[in-house]
A and B are shown apart, each in its own frame.
Chain A
Amino acid sequence: MTWVNAVLQGVFLGGLYALFACGLSLLFGVMRIINLAHGDIAVLGAFLIWQISTSFGISPFLALIPTLVVMLVLGYVLQKTMLTRALRGGPLIPLLATFGLSIVIQNGLLQVFSADVRSLGGQAGPIAHASWTITDQLSVPVLGVVVLATAVAVLGGLQLVLRRTGVGREMRATAQDADTAGLVGVPSSSVYARATAIAVATATLAGMFLALRSTFSAASGPTQLIFAFEAVVIGGLGSLWGTLGGGIVLGVAQTVGAQFDPQWSILAGHLVFLLILATPRGRSLDLGGVRA
């Protein structure tokens, strides 16, 4: 039964990774860039929520609203100032520039908030630790369900926007061929700015849930970036539902690995990822779904 429990916890953990991953996946799908600062942006969001929540004594869920506004603006500005310019410099420059940004955010947070490990669990009230007990060894954490539901809602919502709305059509057109989309009156720069804003907002959401279910510090970003990226690659690059599947595969690998030995948790996730990279079809399980 402990194994069933491990798998179940892994599925919920996978929801969190999918939430981290969807912004990464969207930016890759639309702009063909991997944002190496994605994890640090999520952690920045978590710190803002923590700051607002502790200063005003309000629930993190309430603090999320002003934070989202700030982060959306930040994402828009980031796109307009840095990414647009980086995209013009060829394929290497966005990688190098976002890696630089990652260093800046990480150390900026370190400078402002010190190296202390924090958690939002305390501010959130009972929801952070409550769970439904099914049997002695099997329990369903409320927060895990909330995270998974949020991940499904965000991924489903994104999918719906991409498939059914004019904004989504513009994004898909730009993703396929930015120049041709520009010819028919879809300016790539505003599409990119919207995509970046969405990616930053979902990263903030993921950062909040990370902070609610465990601890975070200024140095947490890179690890979350790696997990998000593993989820994206396992699920198939640019595929949104695949990302959810990838996140769950990674989460289950980690919790089942931890069942053998706590030291094995992260390593097991990496090994599953590398194993999937090594398969002859390579690069992904391709868990289906429409591509962004």
Chain B
Amino acid sequence: MSTTERAQRPATGTGYRVSRSSLTSWLGSLGFLAVLVVLAFVPIAFIPVVIQQTTSFLILVILASMWNALAGYGGLVSVGQQAYIGFGAYAVIFLTQRDVEPYLSIVIAALASGVLALVVSPLLLRLRGGVFAIATWVVAETIGLIILMQASLGGGTGVSLRALNVYPVADRRAYTYWITLAFTVVLLGAVLLLLRRRTGAALQAIRDDEGAAASVGVRTRPLKLILFVLAGVGCGAAGALTLANTLFIQPQSIFGVQYTAFMIFMVLVGGLGSFEGPILGALVFFVAQNEFADLGAWYLIGLGLVAIGFALFLPRGLWSLIGDRLPGPLLPIGYRLRSNKS
């Protein structure tokens, strides 16, 4: 790739070189790989409740990363990603009712959610800021209302995923876990790839100042479209996987705006506009949910207050506290100027 070659040439000729990797990023990458290997063996080594909980956690990681890709890099604050979560889940119901293999249905449903995002993108992507935010919400409400009216999909009372009953319970739990892990790796890998390639510099430029980025020749529209469709696929997958994990859905909850509240919380707390932040945020949210969800309304008031606090006082989230102290990025994203002497 020509940009890489150019970038690796010494900037001034002497004393400095530009590189992608550093000791931190090598250790960081190895750490990520090690965690992945451990995660791959969860269904073999642990009891059912751990497998199911880890599946939920991975779904949260997907949701947080997708929302971060939209808002953190594309400047697109969506309040309506539940459109794709719900669409993905109901697409699985629709497909399995027509005797498509359930796990294949999940993959198709995720891709179909991406197509849905592509279809509504001409309508939404020309909007900005708050107008974009509420327009995405209206789209989610509209799709939710249409699905609510479909008696064949269970209407307002909800519907179960019976097709998964063909598998023994233990197998089903493990398969669902592994396909969730696969989706997590593929989707986060896609974000990483977008950030590593030439698009990464463009995305970070849009994140920092969209107008300035456009003025130096960054083509913002196609990049936003890529992010929007990717987030559609990711949220669709998350919805389909949630259904496979819980086996029952209701339109009011799967199309509920609480998903947006959770995504905003995870990304704000973890770190808006960083790759690692949303994963950290998903971890914090997962713990908070397990510890405090019994408190009901108080728990949600707490989530809201914490989100406001982070938005106002630490908009780059917890990861900025850790990441800024590291000698370099944990994953080889972007380039670093280094002295040859060190």
**Residues of A that sit less than 8 Å from B by CB:** 28, 32-34, 36, 82, 85-86, 89, 91-97, 99-104, 106-108, 110-111, 222, 225-226, 229-230, 233, 237, 263, 266-267, 270-271, 273-274, 277-278, 282-283
Contacts known (A99-B79, A277-B135); A263 close to B149, Cβ less than 8 A: yes
A201 to chain B, nearest CB (A): 21
CA distance A28 to B127 in the complex (A): 14
Contacts known (A91-B75, A92-B75, A111-B297); A104 close to B304, Cβ less than 8 A: yes
Chain B residues whose C-beta falls within 8 Å of the C-beta of A222 in the assembled complex = 257
Contacts known (A93-B311, A270-B142, A282-B126); A100 close to B133, Cβ less than 8 A: no
Closest to B124 in A: A277
CA distance A19 to B241 in the complex (A): 42
B29 to chain A, nearest CB (A): 30
CA distance A104 to B308 in the complex (A): 9
B156 to chain A, nearest CB (A): 10
Contacts known (A89-B312, A96-B311); A34 close to B301, Cβ less than 8 A: no
CA distance A94 to B312 in the complex (A): 9
Q: CB distance B304 to A226 under 8 Å?
A: no
**Residues of B that sit less than 8 Å from A by CB:** 71, 75, 77, 79, 123, 126-127, 129-131, 133-135, 137-139, 141-142, 145-146, 148-149, 257, 260-261, 264, 268, 272, 296-298, 300-301, 303-305, 307-308, 311-312, 315
- Which one, A100, A266, A283, contacts B305 given CB within 8 A? A100
CA distance A210 to B41 in the complex (A): 55
Contacts known (A92-B77, A108-B301); A229 close to B134, Cβ less than 8 A: yes
Pairs A–B under 8 Å by Cβ, sample size 27: A28-B130, A33-B130, A34-B134, A36-B133, A36-B134, A82-B308, A89-B312, A89-B315, A92-B77, A92-B272, A93-B312, A95-B133, A96-B268, A97-B307, A99-B264, A100-B308, A101-B304, A101-B308, A103-B303, A111-B297, A222-B257, A226-B137, A229-B138, A233-B135, A274-B138, A274-B142, A277-B127
Chain A residues whose C-beta falls within 8 Å of the C-beta of B123 in the assembled complex = 274, 277-278
Q: CB distance B311 to A97 under 8 Å?
A: yes
Q: CB distance A274 to B264 under 8 Å?
A: no
Q: CB distance B300 to A267 under 8 Å?
A: no
Chain B residues whose C-beta falls within 8 Å of the C-beta of A237 in the assembled complex = 131
Closest to B134 in A: A229
- Which one, A110, A263, A274, contacts B139 given CB within 8 A? A274
A-B contact count, CB below 8 Å? 117
Q: CB distance B130 to A270 under 8 Å?
A: no
Q: Looking at chain A's contact residues, is the secondary structure mostly helix, strand, loop, or mixed? A: helix
A98 to chain B, nearest CB (A): 9
Q: CB distance A225 to B134 under 8 Å?
A: yes
Chain A residues whose C-beta falls within 8 Å of the C-beta of B264 in the assembled complex = 96, 99-100
Q: CB distance A111 to B146 under 8 Å?
A: no
Q: Given A36-B134, A95-B77, A103-B307, list of 11 further CB < 8 A pairs? A: A93-B311, A95-B129, A97-B307, A99-B307, A100-B307, A103-B304, A107-B304, A263-B145, A263-B149, A270-B138, A283-B131
B124 to chain A, nearest CB (A): 8
Closest to A277 in B: B123
Closest to A103 in B: B304
B318 to chain A, nearest CB (A): 15
Residue with the greatest number of chain A CB neighbours at <10 A, chosen from B126, B134, B257, B296: B134
A199 to chain B, nearest CB (A): 14
Residue with the greatest number of chain A CB neighbours at <10 A, chosen from B139, B301, B305: B301
B265 to chain A, nearest CB (A): 8
CA distance A277 to B145 in the complex (A): 19
CA distance A102 to B304 in the complex (A): 8
Chain B residues whose C-beta falls within 8 Å of the C-beta of A33 in the assembled complex = 130
Closest to A83 in B: B312
A141 to chain B, nearest CB (A): 26
CA distance A103 to B298 in the complex (A): 11
- Which one, B75, B268, B301, B312, contacts A107 given CB within 8 A? B301
Q: Nearest 7 A-B pairs (CB), nearest first?
A: A34-B130, A103-B304, A104-B304, A100-B308, A100-B307, A107-B300, A107-B297
Q: CB distance A283 to B301 under 8 Å?
A: no
Chain A residues whose C-beta falls within 8 Å of the C-beta of B305 in the assembled complex = 100, 104
CA distance A227 to B221 in the complex (A): 29
Chain A residues whose C-beta falls within 8 Å of the C-beta of B298 in the assembled complex = 107, 111
Chain A residues whose C-beta falls within 8 Å of the C-beta of B312 in the assembled complex = 82, 85-86, 89, 93, 97
CA distance A278 to B119 in the complex (A): 12
CA distance A83 to B312 in the complex (A): 9
CA distance A55 to B130 in the complex (A): 38
B2 to chain A, nearest CB (A): 34
CA distance A94 to B300 in the complex (A): 19
Chain B residues whose C-beta falls within 8 Å of the C-beta of A85 in the assembled complex = 312
Q: CB distance A34 to B307 under 8 Å?
A: no
Q: CB distance A110 to B297 under 8 Å?
A: yes
CA distance A96 to B300 in the complex (A): 15
A49 to chain B, nearest CB (A): 22
Chain A residues whose C-beta falls within 8 Å of the C-beta of B304 in the assembled complex = 100-104, 107
CA distance A96 to B310 in the complex (A): 10
Chain B residues whose C-beta falls within 8 Å of the C-beta of A225 in the assembled complex = 134
CA distance A247 to B159 in the complex (A): 36
